[in-house]
Chains A and B, each alone.
Chain A
Amino acid sequence: MHRPIHELTDAFRRGDLTPSAAAEAYLARIGALDGKVGAYLTVVRDQALAAARESDQRWRAGSPRGPLDGAPVAVKDVMCTSGVRTTCGSKMLEHFVPPYDATTVERLRAAGVVILGKTNMDEFAMGSSTEHSAYHPTRNPWDLTRVPGGSSGGSAAAVAGGLAAGAYGSDTGGSIRQPAAFCGVVGMKPTYGRVSRYGLVALASSLDQIGPFAQDVTDTALLLGAVAGHDPRDATSIQAPVPDYAAELSKGVDGLTLGLPDEYFIDGMEPEIERAVRAAIDVLKGLGARIERVSLPTTRHALAAYYVILPAEASSNLARYDGVRYGLRVAGRDFIEMQSKTRAAGFGAEVKRRIMLGTYALSAGYYDAYYGKAQSVRTLVRREFAAAFAKVDLIVAPTTPNVAFKHGEKEDPLSMYLNDTFTIPGNLSGIPGVSVPCGFSTAGLPIGLQVLGRPLDEARVLRAAYAYEQATTWRSRRPELS
């Protein structure tokens, strides 16, 4: 049953399978296995089946709404769903039921997608392991003692474990690409502004971007196409036509120049990762791509800049959770006590840490030294990518410096932050990036190859990922869950 969406819809078209049957099968599997994986926070069984039955009728009438009609998909619990609680993995929003749909969710419903439920995540998307969910950790389907990555770990684990045919997450510093690499699925962060952020609960507004998780690159193209495009409700969304990503996939890499950044092959990175990524580059070379070394020297400052900008914006975005209008409220003698008690009880340790960091970084007298400086670094990172993309079409690199680690292994926040070293520059510069499976460690854990492209050049990024995927057989390996 667990097949890519484009295969499911082929079956819908032939009449071999109905969306209802597919949804039932996924819901049954969630019922049987999610107790072990913990990918979901909320499963909307009745709504999913109702949507699937409507899709059945459309397929039967021969008028599906598009290539995703009836596709059983999961959505990270950071996107607002009208009438369905949206927790952001936090106690603060345990009972929060949004009165509106995020633009992405609205577009999915319009495309006939069957939403199975809301997936687990690090609280307010702060983390790289999905251990920081206020509810339960998510486990990596390849090895349940290991993390799925994060913060979109629930979505990645759902797709890897056959608990959803595809999924959506959000990527602020690698939160789609890193868990995709850890779970052996495809995950894409589009260009900042390509997908509307309206209804995406903000972590860091200037970095957040919604993107898909999929079993293969073809599905990634379809899932991206369904949600990309300008939204008048998001002033930062880009007004540019959306190409037919799936139609461009088979153009190959022959004649493309791929940049290999020196700074992405560093000491301390696991040798198995380097070997797998270099082997992948050889495959691409074999497919006709030219490889050229590029230098992105500001990479080593990117992490530091990111950990100023992100907490600063997060401290501001999370100020609204005060117990007044929605979410948790802990009683106090007056407003200030009610608010402090609410925030003390509602937020976890990592969230509090980042709120404090960000509040400090924006304080009078420190602003220039921290936030101002970090923005300068960000400008440099962006310029370096622009200079590199003047010479090369795409940049290829590892997605992460290591494979999935064990639960509880990275207690020190700093070592956790280092996990995002290779993904953060993509967010700082706003460029699109995909992580595609490129092998396994000797312990059988997936490794991800990252392909980065010019702003709005998702089509070419996906083209290279597709060419590589079609030339290899990694996607045929599946974790054994039972």
Chain B
Amino acid sequence: MTDAATRYETVIGLEVHAQLSTRSKMFCGCPTTFGARPNTQTCPVCLGMPGVLPVVNRRAVELAIRTALAFSCRVNEACRFARKHYYYPDMPKNYQISQYEEPLAEDGFLEIDVEGGARTIGIQRLHLEEDVGKLLHEGTLETAQASLVDFNRSGVALMETVSRPELSSPEEAATYLRAFRAVLIFLGVCDGNMEEGSLRCDANVSLRPRGSATLGTKVEIKNLNSFRNVQRALEFEVRRQAQALEAGERIVQETRLWEADRSYTRSMRSKEFAHDYRYFPEPDLVPLRVDRRWVEEIRAGLPELPRAWRQRAVAQYGLPAYDAEVLTQSRALVDYYEAALREWAPASGAGADRPKVLSNWIMSELLRVLPGDDERAIQSSPIPPRHLVGLLGLIENSTISGKIAKDVFQKMFDSGQDAATIVERDGLTQVADEGALGQVIESVMAANPKAIEDYRRGKKEAKGALVGQVMKATRGKANPALVNRLLEDKLSQS
């Protein structure tokens, strides 16, 4: 760490925009499918034609309340939409319907696990708004002779969540964003896809002398569209600000754009050129009154959240924190794990290691072939939880070896068949017959007198070579524990 870095304290706040998983847009009935042909999912309302009016999508409100409750926010009894004005060709009305002074929910928090323990990061507000369209330029923005606008995204329901400036490092910011995304995915309110823009993040960063109570001048960083970019951009910006402060410069309040390809932030506009959004209450919509009973219904339907599950998995199943973290990539993955464990619950005394065996297999095998954060992929896995448990059962009762099991796993994934069927069909049953195995061992010993001699002279490693030969001779089907015992018996006999 440089001197500058130790002298200053980093203060970061994140604004996250999440596209809500609603079938129709925020204020009209148009579909929200990603990747449709440009301007095929539009209507007079989301094109901002003269005379059109917005109508609030109830499902979007429900998903936002669901999220607000998950973050322990206060859901306001009444909230209001407001118009936020600025001119941009991808914005049909040249104002965005958003929320300003009276947001849907306020004052929540998200607990994150960082080095040295847990931290609680405040969530200042959560509100609803509509998305804008998308501009497509011929070539670069600077040289394009024309730009095209696709309004398919215009009017899609967005939820903006603003954290308090309580994150103290770029790493912590990335951790917050990961934990935040996991919650949204768990709740089923957003698919969390950062590449497709379903989840977007802006950051406010400032530095202050360590121990100082007042905040430094903040800089807003835009275009942080992956976890990696969030961390890299913030690291760059913290360094840039520290160097500036060290050189006795003042930090300018401004908005900067992260250029991922060139790994630096550049100034977009300073405070003097900051937009005056001219907010005022949206007169086309009446204040939204949120029925308390509805809120309670939504609360009752909240799932167990990632962090709570992790804590329970550690305490109840004895999983390492790392495993629990990996498994909470999505609600579907946790559901998969839980379903498998229910199927294969440890009997009293026996199989106490099953929760860990299961997580090992999920982490090393299942997640090798399926993306763990893709709800649908996990839910429609060709190896359902029951089949995985079937496979692990065959290992546990020594029908097959762990090594063979990995091949069987691949075959199960490719064919959708269960483990027993494949093992039976391919004749993969482990050789656990002492008589049959004894014969193999004897012939291996006969062929390797030198190894036996080495072993008897005290070179115990020589046994390993013999075990390997036995496994080779049985094409991996021998039960390793049995091979070891029988071999030891025979070596000590003569």
Report which A residues bind B (CB closer than 8 A): 79-80, 86, 88, 93, 96, 98-100, 102, 197-202, 204-206, 232-236, 312-313, 315-316, 319-320, 322, 324-326, 335-336, 339, 359, 362-364, 367, 371
Contact = CB atoms under 8 A, between A and B. Distances in A.
B352 interface: no
A93 B89 CA distance: 18
B274 to A, nearest CB: 9
B284 A362 contact: no
A98 B52 CA distance: 11
B87 A319 contact: yes
A143 to B, nearest CB: 34
Given A199-B52, A319-B93, 13 more contacts: A79-B51, A99-B44, A198-B51, A200-B51, A205-B283, A236-B283, A313-B280, A313-B283, A336-B87, A362-B85, A363-B276, A364-B276, A367-B279
Contact of A316 (B51, B56, B95, B149): B95
Contacts of B278: 315-316, 359, 362-364, 367
B87 A235 contact: no
Contacts of A96: 50
A235 B56 contact: yes
Contact of A236 (B48, B279, B280, B286): B286
Contact of B53 (A233, A325, A339): A233
B49 A99 contact: yes
B387 interface: no
B146 to A, nearest CB: 10
Interface string B47-73: 111111111100000000000000000
Nearest to A193: B286
A235 B276 contact: no
B384 interface: no
Interface string B133-161: 00000000000000101000000000000
A232 B55 contact: yes
| Leading 9 A-B pairs by shortest Cβ distance | A319-B94, A205-B283, A362-B278, A206-B283, A201-B50, A199-B51, A201-B51, A320-B93, A80-B51
Nearest to A204: B283
A322 B87 contact: yes
B285 interface: yes
B48 A320 contact: yes
Contacts of B280: 312-313, 316, 362, 367, 371
Nearest to B277: A364
Nearest to A102: B51
A198 B284 CA distance: 10
B216 interface: no
B103 interface: no
**A interface, over-half SS:** loop
A392 B85 CA distance: 43
A235 B49 CA distance: 17
A322 B89 contact: yes
Contacts of A339: 87
Interface of B: 44, 47-56, 83, 85, 87, 89, 92-95, 147, 149, 276, 278-280, 283-286
A66 B143 CA distance: 61
B272 to A, nearest CB: 13
Contacts of A197: 51, 53
A320 B85 CA distance: 10
B44 A88 contact: no
Nearest to B275: A364
A335 B89 contact: yes
Nearest to A360: B278
Contacts of A319: 85, 87, 93-95
A93 B50 contact: yes
A86 B276 contact: no
Contacts of B55: 232-235
Contacts of A206: 283
Contacts of A320: 48, 50, 92-94
Contacts of A93: 50
A232 B89 CA distance: 29
25 contacts: A80-B51, A86-B51, A88-B50, A96-B50, A98-B44, A98-B49, A100-B49, A198-B51, A205-B284, A235-B54, A235-B55, A235-B286, A236-B283, A312-B280, A313-B283, A315-B278, A316-B280, A319-B87, A320-B48, A322-B87, A322-B94, A325-B92, A335-B89, A335-B147, A362-B279
Contacts of B284: 202, 205, 235-236
Contacts of B149: 324-325
B89 A80 contact: no
Nearest to A359: B278
B271 to A, nearest CB: 12
A198 B53 contact: yes
A198 B50 CA distance: 10
A136 to B, nearest CB: 21
A235 B53 contact: yes
A326 B56 contact: no
Contacts of A335: 89, 147
B85 A316 contact: yes
Contacts of A205: 283-284
Q: Which of A93, A313, A322, A335 has the most CB of B within 10 A?
A: A322
Nearest to A93: B50
B285 A235 contact: yes
A222 B92 CA distance: 37
A130 B357 CA distance: 82
A100 B53 CA distance: 13
A11 B47 CA distance: 45
A236 B285 contact: yes
A217 B284 CA distance: 31
Contact of A98 (B51, B87, B93, B286): B51
A126 B399 CA distance: 87
Contacts of B95: 316, 319
A339 B91 CA distance: 13
Nearest to A322: B94
Contact of B50 (A98, A235, A322, A324): A98
Contacts of A88: 50
A246 B494 CA distance: 118
A198 B94 contact: no
Contacts of A201: 50-51
A120 to B, nearest CB: 17
